[in-house]
């Protein structure tokens, strides 16, 4: 009963995330036809000539440093009766562990928790950090002929997940881990059979037909698997980048009310930040579960 | 040709979104460091503490259950001992009552015997006293009869007279 409820919960969250992604994709961004007025599509370097360190990398490092410092502070002297920061981290880790355990099972959760927990926590806090006033709005720009600065073209800080390098990095790390976990769970032969092997009990000519069909399905599956890093990274990047653009557009919609209009959208972005972190974690968890789950027919093959 | 087009498309897309190998590798390293340090400083110790706490709670619950069972056993034993003590006490009380009844009976018997003895002794003493008084009365009456006779007759009575008068008086008194 609990597994079914969790599956429904996951499906709802996925639907919510995908729906939001679709809505965000259809909604014209703040830049709209004025690409120059919106946020730059990619992170920019912080030096005079650009430089290697980008504004999104700075945010990434700030969030990473903050998380590590907080984690270290919380676990430096662990108490039997937790309080304060330790209580918060225990709540976070335990809730995430139980949540993941309910989805992917105890054995897989034990092995893969470090990745999914980091993905969720890091994406969540990076997304929320990007909502702090000043991120994306303090930086350098080109003033107009009267000397007024209307647009920041090189913000000092930029949401970490509004940089494709970050989202793609996480997706690629997941892909590498996924391959390792899949090989550990199935072995090379089992991994191949899992993708290309025929499902169900058939015999005779039907079996031959099924082998051909499932081989073709396996090819499609391989394409789908190879595109997962792309879809994962673009989904997260698109949502966060669109959100930042929307906030900037709302702030510029009525200049006199620039402090008021974005407020409801800030709340929306807080929700989006959470949903996207959940979607990324759940999708990666479900992909891992799918490849590591042994089916009836394959059990025999693996044996 | 198609491969070149595909590669160009990927390259253009990457360029549009600012994806390049150095930054990508830098972010991969950053995320890997975060994952490693969080695993080292957060997940591992916290999951260990949670497991220990879970085990401790389980042990405490087991101990509580053991104590409960022990308590129930002790309570049953206490009740049993209490019942036995009650039964023993009731038995003792019954025995004591029976003994008391026996003692009462014996003492009553003794008291009755003593009373009877006292009554008998008193009766004997009374009879002896009565006899002594009767004897004394006879003597006194005899002496008075002798004195009266001597005064009335004016005759000096002899010892034989005395004896005869006394015997006659005693006969008459006895009749």
pLDDT, tens digit (0-9, with 9 covering 90-100), for A127-140:
999 999 888 888 88
pLDDT in tens, chain B (175 residues): 677 888 888 888 888 899 999 999 999 999 999 999 999 999 999 999 999 999 999 999 999 999 999 999 999 999 999 999 999 999 999 999 999 899 989 988 998 998 899 998 988 988 888 888 888 887 888 888 888 888 888 777 788 877 887 788 778 777 7
Domain boundaries, chain B: 2-174
Dmax over Cα atoms in chain B, in whole Å? Answer: 202
Task: State the pLDDT at residue B85.
Answer: 93
| d(C-alpha A115, C-alpha A126), whole Å | 16
Q: How confident is the model at residue A51 (pLDDT cuts 50, 70, 90)?
A: confident
Q: How confident is the model at residue A12 (pLDDT cuts 50, 70, 90)?
A: low
Chain A: residue whose CA lies nearest to B13: A164
Domain boundaries, chain A: 2-302
Task: State the pLDDT at residue A58.
Answer: 94
pLDDT, tens digit (0-9, with 9 covering 90-100), for A227-282:
999 999 999 999 999 999 898 889 888 888 888 999 999 999 999 999 999 999 99
CB-closest option in A52, A117, A165 to B18: A165
Mutate which: A43, A46, A69, A71, vs B, most B CBs within 10 A: A71
- Is A161 exposed, middle or buried (CB count within 10 Å of its CB: 0-12, 13-18, 19+)? buried
Show which of residues 206-245 on chain A sit within 8 Å of chain B, judged by CB atoms: 237
Q: How confident is the model at residue A11 (pLDDT cuts 50, 70, 90)?
A: low
Chain A: residue whose CA lies nearest to B31: A170
Task: State the pLDDT at residue B1.
Answer: 66
- Torsion, Cα A207 A210 A215 A219, to 10 degrees, reads -170
Task: State the pLDDT at residue A33.
Answer: 34
Helix (H) or strand (E) holding A300: helix A296-302
- The structure tokens listed for B90 are 């009731």
Helices (H), ranges, B2-43: 2-16, 21-38
Which range of A41-45, A93-97, A191-195, B96-100 scores highest in mean pLDDT? It is A93-97
Residues of chain A positioned with their CB less than 8 A from the CB of B45: 75, 78
- Torsion, Cα A86 A99 A293 B50, to 10 degrees, reads 30
CB-closest option in B14, B35, B45 to A114: B35
Mind telling me how many Å the CA of A42 is from chain B's nearest CA?
5
- The structure tokens listed for B135 are 């004897």
**CA atoms within 13 A of residue A233's CA, in its CB half-sphere:** 24
Chain B: residue whose CA lies nearest to A51: B23
pLDDT, tens digit (0-9, with 9 covering 90-100), for A108-128:
999 999 999 999 999 999 999
């Amino acid at each position: 009963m609990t597994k079914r409820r969790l599956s429904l919960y996951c499906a709802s969250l996925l639907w919510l995330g995908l729906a939001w992604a679709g809505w965000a994709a259809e909604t014209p961004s703040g830049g709209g036809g004025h690409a120059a007025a919106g946020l730059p599509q990619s992170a920019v370097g912080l030096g005079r000539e650009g430089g290697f360190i980008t504004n999104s990398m700075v945010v990434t490092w700030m969030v990473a440093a903050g998380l590590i410092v907080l984690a270290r502070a919380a676990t430096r002297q662990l108490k039997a009766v937790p309080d304060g920061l330790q209580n918060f981290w225990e709540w976070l880790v335990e809730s995430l562990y139980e949540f993941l355990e309910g989805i992917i099972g105890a054995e897989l959760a034990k092995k893969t928790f470090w990745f999914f927990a980091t993905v969720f926590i890091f994406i969540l806090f990076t997304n929320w950090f990007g909502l702090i006033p000043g991120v994306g709005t303090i930086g350098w720009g080109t003033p107009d002929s009267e000397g007024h600065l209307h647009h920041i073209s090189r913000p000092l800080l930029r949401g970490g997940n509004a940089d494709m390098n970050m989202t793609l990095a996480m997706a690629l790390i997941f892909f590498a881990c996924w391959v390792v976990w899949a090989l550990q769970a199935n072995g090379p032969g089992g991994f191949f059979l899992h993708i290309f092997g025929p499902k169900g009990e058939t015999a005779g000519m039907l079996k031959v037909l099924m082998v051909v069909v499932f081989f073709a399905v396996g090819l499609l599956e391989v394409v789908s698997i190879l595109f997962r890093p792309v879809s994962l990274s673009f989904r997260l990047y698109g949502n966060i980048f669109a959100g930042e653009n929307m906030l900037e557009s709302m702030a510029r919609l009525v200049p006199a009310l620039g402090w008021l209009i974005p407020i409801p959208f800030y709340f929306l972005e807080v929700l989006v930040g959470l949903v996207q972190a959940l979607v990324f974690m759940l999708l990666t968890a479900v992909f891992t579960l799918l490849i590591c789950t042994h089916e009836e027919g394959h059990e025999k093959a693996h044996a | 040709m198609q491969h070149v087009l595909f590669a160009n498309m990927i390259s253009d897309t990457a360029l549009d979104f600012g994806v390049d190998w150095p930054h990508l590798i830098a972010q991969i390293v950053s995320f890997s460091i975060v994952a490693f340090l969080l695993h080292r400083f957060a997940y591992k110790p916290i999951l260990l503490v949670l497991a220990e706490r879970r085990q401790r709670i389980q042990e405490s619950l087991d101990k509580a259950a053991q104590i409960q069972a022990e308590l129930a056993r002790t309570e049953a034993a206490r009740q049993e001992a209490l019942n036995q003590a009650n039964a023993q006490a009731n038995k003792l009380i019954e025995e004591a009552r029976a003994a008391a009844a026996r003692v009462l009976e014996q003492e009553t018997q003794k008291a009755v015997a003593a009373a009877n003895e006292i009554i008998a002794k008193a009766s004997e003493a009374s009879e002896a006293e009565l006899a002594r008084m009767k004897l004394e009365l006879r003597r006194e009456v005899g002496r008075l009869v002798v004195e009266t006779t001597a005064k009335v007759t004016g005759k000096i009575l002899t010892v034989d007279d005395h004896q005869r008068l006394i015997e006659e008086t005693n006969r008459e008194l006895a009749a």
